[in-house]
Amino acid sequence: MTAPDVESDLARTRRARRIDRALAVRYPDARCELDFTSPFELLVATVLSAQTTDVRVNLTTPILFARYPDAAALAGANPEELEEILRPTGFFRAKARSVMGLSRELVERFGGEVPGRMADLVTLPGVGRKTANVVLGNAFGVPGITTDTHVMRLSKRLGYTASDDPLVVEKELDALIPRKDWTMASHRLIFHGRRTCFARRPACGACPVAAMCPSAGIGELDPAKAAAMVKA
């Protein structure tokens, strides 16, 4: 697709929704890739996922939650012991401070339970809108756009936004995608960014939305070569 000089808001909205439908076909299993069994586990796992992979977090959290199963336990953790558990996730000292701090806040202000409101979540240490939207969308069923690195990158490549400000991007995507689809649309963009639309060299020749993408052609165009790049 050759991007027009000016795309109307209506045309952009229609294109964004066609792209989302195409990605739903391509990634029917799109979901949150962090393992969790409760809002508390998802909140902590999301904080830990900064600057590391979901796979690494999923290897760490079973050990973490076996030792500290709830907010009260984590709030009273031994800092050195906690840091050692979190060491594989990187930035382990800062992450230990954040998860202990948010756990203390949960105990002191919310009875040890994770609140189900954005206004409350963003007051917790280490929790911003991105983390809050992950928790709300996946643990509470409250739709939200998650502006992680993949969503930010793909939003610009797909011509949804020109901004690098996560709040601006979130609001612009909110306007393009129906509210009921915000959480799943985020998952589909993240799946696409991890599996096909890579940061350095996207697999354009194997992309299901290339015909609708103004950035199509910046990566590998040969269909066979591009297909070999796609991650299962």
> What string of H, E and C letters represents the secondary structure of 149-216?
HHHHHHHHHCCCCCCCCHHHHHHHHHHHCCHHHHHHHHHHHHHHHHHCCCCCCCCHHHCCCHHHCCCC
Quote the percentage of the chain above a pLDDT of 70.
Answer: 98
Query: How many other C-beta atoms can be found within 10 angstroms of the C-beta atom of residue 31?
Result: 14
* Superfamily name and number for 39-139: Hypothetical protein; domain 2 (1.10.340.30)
Report whether CATH 1.10.1670.10 matches the domain 9-30+145-229.
yes
Residue that the structure tokens 């809108």 belong to? 129
Q: Is the pLDDT of residue 25 over 50?
A: yes
pLDDT confidence bin for 5, thresholds 50/70/90? low
- CATH 1.10.340.30 in the chain is located at 39-139
Instruction: Quote the tokens at residue 180.
Output: 């009921």
Q: Per-residue pLDDT tens for 32-56?
A: 999 999 999 999 999 999 999 999 9
Task: Tell me the mean pLDDT in the region 185-192.
Answer: 98
* Catalytic residue numbers, as ranges: 130, 148
**pTM across the whole model:** 0.93
Task: Tell me the mean pLDDT in the region 183-204.
Answer: 98
- CATH 1.10.1670.10 in the chain is located at 9-30+145-229
Q: Which residue has the higher pLDDT, 38 or 6?
A: 38
Q: Per-residue pLDDT tens for 86-123?
A: 999 999 999 999 999 999 999 999 999 999 999 999 99
**Would you state the pLDDT for residue 229?**
98
pLDDT confidence bin for 232, thresholds 50/70/90? confident
Give the whole-angstrom CA distance, residue 160 versus residue 155: 5
Q: Is the pLDDT of residue 2 over 50?
A: no
Task: Tell how far CA 8 is from the center of its chain.
Answer: 28
**Would you state the pLDDT for residue 6?**
82
Closest CA to 108 of 123, 129, 127, 118: 123
